[in-house]
Structure 1
Amino acid sequence: MKKLLTFITVALFFFEISYSDNSDIYKKIDLFGEVLEKINKEYVNEIDQSKSMDAAINGLLQSLDPYSAYMTPESFEGMQTETSGEFGGLGIEVGMEAGVVKVISPIDNTPASKAGLKAGDYIVKVKNVQVQGKSLMEAVDLMRGPVGSSIEITVRRRGVKKALVFNITREIIQVQSVKSELVENNIGYIRLTSFNENSSDQIKKNIKKFNKNKDLKGFILDLRNNPGGLLSQAIKISDFFLENGEIVSTKSRKVSENRKWFAKKGDLTNGKTLVVLINYGSASASEIVAGALKDHKRAIILGENSYGKGSVQSIIPLKNRGAIRLTIAKYYLPSGKSISEVGVTPDIEVIESSENFKFNSETDNQLNFALKLLNG
């Protein structure tokens, strides 16, 4: 009987805690309704309550991390259109940092990269509209527009005192993820701008092509300004250069999301020297490849510290035909280290030598350093 009474007491205790927690949540919901009512009645300008609710939902998601966000039905439809691989725009990958829109990476040969936008730039104005305090989706909507139309963007850049103003004309963005050439007749140079469905097949073909050269000394894998893409492609591309071992793992609250991926036997480059170039615009899948090759001491990582986006986002549709982008897991390197907010540190730090460097040009300090390294 004593044991039964103890059990009932414990059960009641947990019920009280659970009820208390729910009661606090309901009080907060009531408080939110009261605040919304006060704003609607007292705020100096008349507000659109629907937009206010959207902003509140987005604020909740963005309080979690810079990558979680709410997409209205209109913005969700726009995102689905843009992922088709050809779209009108500026050619930049953006994120949020402390309420400010930040350039993760400009895409090669797009209006943004040609104009001179750089990874790490903070966008403060779009068409003379202050974007600080706006949601990421609101800022992106401001940057959208008809192909051929121009837009003025004001940015703040690390190390530059004055704000920089760029006038950019929107174009159809066609992303070609892989570029390659034989440099100095003995170095296989592969530039990867994003991880899309065909990236690994293209890189595999280029490796096989370079391997036919009897004088080949090594490879350069250029991941600078690569904002990432498909995890499956990052795993396949890492595997091309490894004989065995773990490539990456994910950890989540859900056991089903906890996974590990391993390399299969067979290094396609036959162990030739490999240099991987990274910079602040190298993010997500780029960091998985660079981090795995660094941890296995398979490559020399050269350049600047990478961006630090080591998390997995899932697009979850909602009943209103909108969606939320929600972080569901984090990436971990073979060493057990997380990439999130830390990034990958290069073995050899080489700062970019010019404001608007061009790959394979004489002014590309990082590439020239890599070529000297491979040629002894």
Structure 2
Amino acid sequence: MNPEKRRLLLTLTAAILCCSLLGGVFGSRVVVASAASEGEVADSIKRFTDVLAVVERNYADQIDSETAIFSGVIPNLLHTLDPHSQFFDPDSFRQLRDEQKGQYAGVGMQIAPRNGNTVVVAPFPKTPAYKAGLRPGDVIAEVNGEAMDGLNVGEVASRLRGPAGTQVKIGVVRRGVDDMLNFEVTRASIPYPSISSSFFIKPGIGFIRIDRFNETTGKELDKALADFRKEGLNGLVLDLRKNRGGLLSEGVYVSDKFLERGKTIVSHYGRSSPERKYKAKRGNGGEVFPMVVMVDCDSASASEIVAGALQDHDRALIVGTPTFGKGLVQTVYPMGKTAGLALTTARYYTPSGRLIQRSYDDVSLWKYYSDPCSDKYEPRTDEVKLTDQGRRVYGGGGITPDVRIAETKLNEFQVTLWRSYSLQTFAQEYTLQHPKLEPNWEPTDVVLEEFRQFLYREKVEFSEADFSENADYVKRTLKREVYVSAYDLHEGEYVKHTLDPDVQKALDLLPEAKELLESSGRLIARQ
């Protein structure tokens, strides 16, 4: 390692070590009883550099100090504080900023690992990849003449990305085509929207799916609601399932759109962070309609802020499963020009005073992250608070929904279909054989039989009973995959959500959401 890079690594490690030891400057939770003195910090840093020097000189094999520090020392140091403080090396910090900004420079397609290769899941609509003719299922074999064999998805993605306006040559292997296909694609600034779906799921009933909270979420929500208003909005299903959070400011903005002006949305404070309350600045302008918010065990952070605020003020009916319980505030501190430290500085509390954060004391990281989605998990109920109407809600373990909707679990046959990529591969073959899909295409019994024969050819193990019992699921999922392959990802997502049994259950609960809203109105009138 050259001296300049070594100095950078030691400086970064020293800075993070100072943060973790001093605590009073940045952190809300420390592992020492009082702040360490400057001399103790200096001694700790010296011991660390001495240990590193001994390891570099004497370890049996040659070591990569950069990897050892970025992937070993720093993550383990931060994990002694809490599960969510983390260090971002240059690559991960750049990816974090791209996600927060809601755009990146590249070709515009979703890729994923499959059978040891990197394949195109789907090109995003109207992007260079889409216009060039790349298709779902294409195996990325070469980028600028370099073979992609043995590279992981992140390494392939880094080669596809580059400054807008530059060109990249992509070689792909396509099922049913003998020779490798070559595409020359001009990179562009690609929007990375946080709202993946927004449409009328029933006359007058809107559906909005927010995947993450980034810098464009508020603008995207404004546009979605404005489009709904043109035709008349009488109810809304807001889907926050699998949304693990993002920017606090955007979570506050989303909540603001549905609450009365002046209502508290969230507050946070920590050992060295004074209390700050966020209130609805603009408010809903008197526009109210029944609203159901869908959550699950992967809904976290900003998602829980939105769900908690709307629940505490009796503005929406929260349905699904208990949320993750991530209520720690991370402040991102730049470490030089290309790296960053996300350090916990405070805790979130809902308007009723509920702590969102689940306990992480005396549990392993694996248990902490896996518990909320386990079948036996139940959130705490000992911290009881009241909503504006006096309904009981619970703190210290995420957001407990008003109505439980058990998450639909995949059965063994369905898992087999996904693990073998049978649904996607069949859809890709089908659309190649039927390039002009008829309007409002539906998977008929004939298509279902074609899929059955496809499974036999691909040597996917299943029984006739498996196939018969899962016929509805196969039709529903095949329709989504065929629409992705024939049209684009947006069309596929539309099909997925309109056919989702849990979304249908949420729609059935809109009358209950209306009753909640009317009860809230009567309470305000009495006051």
State the TM-score, normalizing by the size of structure 1: 0.65
User: Match of 2:403, as an amino acid?
Assistant: I
TM-fit CA distance, 1:324: 1.8
Shift, 1:316, TM fit:
1.6
| Letter of the structure 2 residue corresponding to residue 146 of structure 1 | R
The one-letter amino acid paired with 1:346 is P
- Equivalent residue, structure 2, for 1:279: 296
1:281 is matched by which residue type in structure 2? D
Determine the C-alpha separation between the residues in 2 that align with 1:83 and 1:267.
25
1:60 maps onto 2:60 in alignment: no
Flag the structure with larger Rg: 2
Match of 2:228 in 1: 210
Is 1:295–1:334's contact at 8 Å kept on the other side of the alignment? yes
After superposition, the C-alpha distances for 1:186-235 in whole angstroms (9 at most, x for unaligned) are 31222222223332233234334434556x54211111222323222221
Structure 2 contact 323–400 (Cα < 8 Å) conserved = yes
Alpha carbon RMSD of aligned pairs, Å? 4.1
Distance 2:207 2:226 in 1: 13
Report Cα offsets for 1:335-362 as digits up to 9, x if no partner. Answer: 2122223322211111332548866546
**What residue is the counterpart of 1:262 in the other structure?**
279
In the other structure, the counterpart of 1:374 is: 510
Deviations 1:296-339 (A, max 9, x none): 11110011222222222222223475332222222211121222
- State the distance in 2 between where 1:228 and 1:371 align: 24
Question: Can you list the C-alpha shifts for 1:122-169, whole angstroms capped at 9, x where unaligned?
Answer: xxxxx999xxxxxxxxx996685433699xxxxxxxxxxxxxxxxxxx
Aligned to 1:302: 319
1:68 CA displacement = 2.0
Match of 1:247 in 2: 265
| CA distance in structure 2 between the partners assigned to 1:258 and 1:107 by the alignment | 44
Going from structure 1 to structure 2, the CA distance change for 1:207 and 1:22 (only over 3 Å counts) comes to closer
Of 40, 48, 57, the residue aligned with 2:64 is 48
Q: Looking at secondary structure, tell me which structure has more strand per residue.
A: 1
Whether the 8 Å CA contact 2:193–2:216 is kept in 1: the answer is: no
Alignment deviations for residues 71-92 of structure 1 (CA, whole Å, 9 cap, x no partner): 3445545544565513569969
> Any stretches of 5+ residues in structure 1 without a counterpart?
1-17, 93-105, 116-126, 130-138, 151-170
- Give the distance between the partners of 1:107 and 1:196, measured in 2 at CA: 22
Which of 159, 164, 175 is the matching residue for 1:146? 159
Note the C-alpha offset of 1:236: 2.0
Q: Does 1:238 align with 2:255?
A: yes
CA distance in 2, matches of 1:212, 1:368: 24
Is the 8 Å Cα contact of residues 241 and 269 (structure 1) preserved in structure 2?
Answer: no
CA separation of 1:40/1:246 partners in 2, compared to 1, >3 Å: closer, same or farther?
same
- Note the C-alpha offset of 1:275: 0.4
1:350–1:365: 8 Å Cα contact kept in structure 2? no
**Between structures 1 and 2, the one with greater helix share:** 2
- Matched with 1:196 is 214
Once residues 140 and 60 of structure 1 are traced to their aligned partners in structure 2, the CA distance between those partners, rounded to angstroms, is 27
1:365 equivalent to 2:501? Answer yes
CA contact (8 A) 1:107 1:226 kept: no
2:326 counterpart of 1:313 = no
The 10-residue stretch of structure 1 (346-355 or 41-50) with the greater mean CA deviation from structure 2: 41-50
> Against the structure 1 CA distance between its residues 315 and 23, is the aligned structure 2 distance closer, same or farther, given a 3 Å change threshold?
closer
CA distance 1:77–1:368, shift in 2 (3 Å):
closer
Q: CA deviation at 1:185?
A: 0.9
Q: Distance in 2 between matches of 1:22 and 1:203?
A: 48
Q: Distance in 1 between matches of 2:211 and 2:334?
A: 28
Using the alignment, how far apart are the partners of 2:45 and 2:78 within structure 1?
16
Q: Is residue 359 of structure 2 the alignment partner of residue 343 of structure 1?
A: no
Q: Percent identity, aligned pairs only? A: 36
- Given that 1:308 and 1:340 are in contact with CA atoms closer than 8 Å, whether structure 2 keeps it comes out as yes
The reply to whether residue 36 of structure 1 matches residue 52 of structure 2 is yes
Which of the residues 191, 197, 200 maps onto 1:182? 200
What's 1:292 paired with? 309
Native 8 Å contact 1:352 1:364 kept in 2? no
Residues 220 and 73 of structure 1: is their aligned pair in 2 closer, same or farther, counting only changes over 3 Å?
A: closer
